[in-house]
Amino acid sequence: MLSKAMQDAINEQIKNELYSSYLYLAMSAYCEANNLPGFAHWLRVQSQEEIEHAMKFFGFVNERGGRVVLEAIDKPPVEFESPGKIFEETLNHERKVTAMINSLYELALEEKDYASQVMLHWFIDEQVEEEANASYILDTLKAVGEKGQALVMLDRELAKRGD
């Protein structure tokens, strides 16, 4: 059974994962409106992944005899300066999520909650991948610039995510 503290912390993380989904969906909408369908596709896939993360936590709470309590999700920003700024924000956001996951793990250690520790290992590995992906795209944007043929080529590359 989950402790009250762990249950509350995971419920907060469910909200945070759903906000992440909402944020990436807002970024996707911005990219669609700015004729960057590949960027939009990549961000929609990212949004869907965040929902899957929330549901993984949701299922875990239920499996451990806890109670999921959903909280309100903040409205994400809807305007962004550029693709580069989107991926700067994406990388910063993923780093923030990593810190949240690390805090959950610290709580699990403190409470000697071994089942939560095992479950959180998956998220720790996932965050390494999330940060690496955002960093790669941001570094690529910095290298090629945000105009011209190179941006179009990167947009086409990002459209292939999930193929």
Residue-wise pLDDT for 72-108, tens only, equals 999 999 999 999 999 999 999 999 999 999 999 999 9
| Cα distance between residue 73 and residue 22, in whole Å | 8
Query: The domain that contains 150 carries what CATH number?
Result: 1.20.1260.10
Residue pointed to by tokens 């909402």:
22
Please count the structural domains in the chain: 1
Within-domain flag for 163: no
Q: pLDDT of 17-43, one tens digit each?
A: 999 999 999 999 999 999 999 999 999
What pLDDT band is residue 112 in, cutting at 50, 70 and 90?
Answer: very high
| Cα distance between residue 116 and residue 109, in whole Å | 9
- Answer yes or no: are the C-beta atoms of 46 and 24 closer than 8 Å: yes
Within-domain flag for 90: yes
Distance of CA 139 to the CA centre of its chain: 19
- Answer yes or no: are the C-beta atoms of 142 and 85 closer than 8 Å: no
Within-domain flag for 24: yes
| Cα distance between residue 44 and residue 42, in whole Å | 6
The pLDDT, as a whole number, for residue 98 is: 98
Within-domain flag for 59: yes
- DSSP helix, strand, coil percent of the chain (3-state; round to 5): 75, 0, 25
CA distances from 61 to 12, 17, 58, 66, 97 (A): 12, 15, 5, 5, 19
The pLDDT, as a whole number, for residue 163 is: 64
